[in-house]
């Protein structure tokens, strides 16, 4: 699983496509690449409005299509280039969308759950089960998507959940669909200060549990996915257990 900042890496022959080619050369024909894509959603603000207003606000809006909708710009340039490459298999979820290339791509993408899309049955769980690695190339400290799977594994009480509506285009036409999951935007509980994903990663790196080096100009880490998930579960159980307060995130407004 790759998280990369092209800006941090610096000049690369072939730009993002060149980086993907280099990664594929590195893992070989038996390897698999996994990237978080998300989805560009100019109406994401609607799901911050009270639930009673959302259906009307989304009525007639352009739907998400898993093959045509661009990646979320917040996850970086590499994700959109990866999505568009011939041979990339893309999952069909408007919130937890991934792309994969290589031997296990279809297995990682198939049958992902609609609700709790980062939890059991998700590509993240399959990454862990297949003894995958996470390669961070100059990515921000809060960028370890696999820790969302740790949020499902952690025994933190009163985990905050959210409900979202998305207009989705599929084989049956355009539908307005509801999604319910742990809060993967503001955290499963309130935590003071820095994003707790960044705090967990910093503690993990300080413990010497990752291989570190430089790729281009970027400080980079190679991390065992199962190991950081277990580390994240233990950290959350210790530091988040006393802070949980809500089950369903209250309506805004």
pLDDT over 80 (residue 248): no
Mean pLDDT of 177-201: 96
pTM of the predicted model, to two decimals? Answer: 0.92
CA pair distance 141, 13, nearest whole angstrom: 26
Residue-level pLDDT at 60: 87
pLDDT at position 242 is 74
- Residue 171 is predicted with a pLDDT of 76
Mean pLDDT of 198-218: 97
Q: Is the dihedral of CA 128, 229, 101, 216 positive or negative?
A: negative
Task: Convert the pLDDT of each residue in 140-182 to its tens digit.
Answer: 999 999 999 999 999 999 999 999 999 999 777 899 999 999 9
Is pLDDT above 60 for 84? Answer: yes
- Residue 194 CB: number of other CB atoms within 10 A? 11
The confidence band for 243, taking pLDDT boundaries of 50, 70 and 90, is low
The residues, any chain, with a CB within 8 Å of residue 203's CB and separated by 6 or more, are 231, 235
pLDDT tens-digit readout, 92-109: 999 999 999 999 999 999
Q: Band of the pLDDT at 252, cuts 50, 70, 90?
A: very low
Tell me: pLDDT of 30 over 60: yes
Please report, for residues 123, 124, 216, the alpha-carbon distance to residue 100 in angstroms, rounded to integers and kept in the order given.
10, 12, 24
Top-confidence residue, 243 or 128: 128
Per the CB < 8 A criterion, the answer to whether 145 and 3 are in contact is: yes
Percent residues over pLDDT 90 in the chain: 92
**pLDDT for residue 211:** 98
Indicate the DSSP class of residue 252: P
pLDDT band at 50 (very low <50, low <70, confident <90, very high): very high
User: What is the rounded average pLDDT for all residues in the chain?
Assistant: 93
User: 41-59: b or e for each residue (b if 16 or more CB lie within 10 Å)?
Assistant: beeeebbebeeeebeeebe
């Amino acid at each position: 699983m790759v998280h990369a900042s092209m800006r941090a890496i610096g000049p690369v022959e072939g730009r993002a496509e060149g980086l993907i080619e280099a990664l594929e050369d590195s893992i070989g024909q038996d390897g698999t690449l996994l990237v978080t894509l998300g989805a560009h959603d100019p109406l994401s603000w609607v799901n911050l409005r009270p639930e009673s207003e959302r259906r009307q606000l989304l009525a007639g809006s352009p739907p998400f299509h898993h093959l045509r909708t661009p990646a979320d710009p917040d996850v970086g340039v590499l994700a959109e280039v990866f999505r568009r490459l011939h041979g990339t298999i893309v999952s069909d979820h408007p919130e937890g969308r991934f792309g994969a290339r290589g031997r296990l791509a279809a297995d990682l993408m198939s049958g992902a759950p609609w609700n709790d899309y980062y939890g059991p049955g998700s590509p993240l769980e399959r990454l862990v089960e297949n003894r995958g690695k996470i390669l961070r190339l100059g990515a921000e400290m809060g960028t370890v998507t696999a820790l969302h799977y740790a949020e499902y594994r952690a025994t933190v009480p009163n985990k905050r959940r959210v409900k979202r509506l998305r207009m989705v285009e599929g084989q049956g036409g355009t539908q307005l669909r509801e999604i319910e999951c742990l809060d993967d935007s503001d955290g499963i509980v309130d935590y003071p200060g820095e994003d707790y994903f960044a705090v967990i990663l910093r503690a993990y790196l300080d413990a010497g549990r990752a291989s570190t080096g430089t790729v281009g100009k970027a400080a980079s880490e190679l991390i065992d996915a199962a190991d950081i998930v277990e580390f994240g579960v233990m950290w959350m159980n210790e530091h988040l257990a006393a802070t949980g307060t809500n089950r369903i995130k209250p309506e805004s407004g």
